[in-house]
Amino acid sequence: MKLTGAQILMKVLQEEGVDTLFGYPGGAVIDIYDELAKTDIRHILVRHEQGGVHAADGYARASGKVGVCLVTSGPGATNTVTGIASAYMDSIPVVVITGQVPTQLIGNDAFQEVDIVGITRPCTKHNYLVKNIDDLARILREAFFLARSGRPGPVLVDIPKDIARAMASYKLPKSVKMASYNPTYNPNMRQLQKVVKLVQEAKRPVIFAGGGVILSKAAPELTAFARKTQIPVTTSLMGLGAFPGSDPLWLGMIGMHGTYRANMSTGVCDLLIAIGVRFDDRVTGKTEAFAAQSKIVHIDIDPTSIRKNIPVTVPVVGDCKISLGHLNQLIDALDLSDLSDRRREWLETIDGWKSTKPLAYQQGEAIKPQFVIEKLYELTRDRETIITTEVGQNQMWAAQYYHFEKPGHFITSGGLGVMGFGLPAAIGAQMACPDSLVVDVAGDGSIQMNIQEMATAVQYGLPVKVVILNNRYLGMVRQWQELFYECRYACTAMEHAPDFVKLAEAYGAVGLRAEKPEEVEAVLREGLFSPRTVIMDFKVQQTECVYPMVPAGAPITEMLLV
């Protein structure tokens, strides 16, 4: 059977189970869009290609599937780069399909020509320029395989216009075999035996989990391991939800804005079991002082992550879910009847830190942003709720004051830190989980980065909620200027902003506002229970800072507290 390149693309998307893709048409992909319209694949017309990749990213995180984005050549392709880089930093499985000028024009500076393969080489797991129609089906199959396997990540496929129109026999490989790519899923059991021995000997152990636990669907195994061994758990920003936030062993988030007990525990522990993490600088602070007294176990499927930033005592290369499964079996074979007695002093010390140095703020006459997040949590804790965030103070307050019980319910741009991520990611998450409540926690600066996607949400009837913590500043930069630049607020005051209520109404959404603390709950109730897209504008105290805070380059045990 002979098909055009565009038809082959549609066939492979259907074979891969793609039912939704996010995109923006253009001349180089007009043949692809013509075929797309003949299928039952849902196409979400975003208003900017960056929003399209973030939406595919949010869809992937919420659904556990590969997210797909389709854009045209030139500016359509370059507009995806920020979204691709964010997905790469956070190891999110996304396939981005870009149109390209006809092959005979490549290198001629043709209209809307750009070398997107060269541009994205450093920020994709792999990328392809399709030069032969006979390779198209195989390349697309490999793209999906690479995106979802091993350490997941974004893959880009650049399809010239003449390839989309060319004819070829449709032969889709049943499986993918790549000689240079063979991820290690099963860990070395002798290394796991060493981990068990360290667990038995440790007096002050801590588990540090990251996004790799969520990506490998290892949250149940992590929870079982922590409870069997009575080891307290902290996570990175990307790991929130990997361990229940209500569990007595939960320490809270670690790092620059981590809890006092999480950072202090890591500072004095004698065994740190790191699982699915990459020891980001926002977590470690001064690396020489990070868990300096501790033996460190690092479990990760990506061998290049191990010993990249932090020396490790026992490296374990393997899938987090499989590795933790084996560890639980090894632990079950031990006599741990005296474990509670052995852990008592350590857990009492941590409880002391928790009670004397909790996360704290004082609600006065102005609305505190922490108060908004706490109320948001109270009103949604019994509903299936997904929180997305922008980046900055809003992201940190959401991480600190919203308590996540399950994986996949906190979606944020962790590694690249993209302002403008939250709203399109919320659209993707809402498409993946239509019955869930999806809330984007935003700042008044970051929401304006991709505010145009309000039109997308309204067009498709997506009841996404946007909670703006409006302090009329680029808040996190202003906080650094206050603390480390002698209050010289260079260019961080948002002296003019749109009326977000009227802006919501202009897009066809609901706009609400709270200016006093006593108005917060009523606005949240009205907005959260509306069946429509809603912006809720909370005028919060302008100079509120995120605490605790570890100054850049300092040990994480040296925190600035309220």
Token readout for 536 is 């809720």
Positive or negative, the CA dihedral 218, 424, 489, 363 is negative
- Give the number of other CB atoms < 10 A from CB of residue 185: 15
Q: Which conformational region is residue 308 in: left (phi greater than 0), alpha (psi within -120 to 50 degrees), or beta? A: alpha
Phi, psi of 358 (to 5 degrees): -80, 170
Token readout for 119 is 């541009």
Q: Which of 168, 182, 105, 108 is nearest to 140 (CA)?
A: 168
3-state DSSP assignment of residue 52: helix
Positive or negative, the CA dihedral 74, 76, 80, 82 is positive
Token readout for 316 is 């374990």
Token readout for 486 is 């002698």
Alpha-carbon distance 429 to 393, whole Å? Answer: 22
Positive or negative, the CA dihedral 66, 70, 73, 78 is negative
Alpha-carbon distance 386 to 380, whole Å? Answer: 10
The answer to whether residues 393 and 475 touch, using CB atoms and an 8 Å cutoff, is yes
Which amino acid is located at 501 in the chain?
V
Helix 475-484 × helix 393-401 angle, to 10°:
100
The answer to whether residues 155 and 124 touch, using CB atoms and an 8 Å cutoff, is yes
**How far apart, in Å, do the first and last CA atoms of the chain sit?**
69
Alpha-carbon distance 176 to 346, whole Å? Answer: 49
The beta-strand segments (E) located in 412-494 are 437-443, 465-470
The answer to whether residues 446 and 476 touch, using CB atoms and an 8 Å cutoff, is no
Which amino acid is located at 255 in the chain?
G
Token readout for 38 is 């003949």
Phi, psi of 166 (to 5 degrees): -70, 160
Alpha-carbon distance 269 to 346, whole Å? Answer: 9
My answer on whether omega of the bond before 517 falls inside 30° of 0, hence cis, is: no
Token readout for 228 is 């069997």
Q: Which of 376, 379, 386, 508 is nearest to 435 (CA)?
A: 386
The residues annotated with a catalytic role in the active site are 49, 111-112, 161, 476
The answer to whether residues 9 and 32 touch, using CB atoms and an 8 Å cutoff, is yes
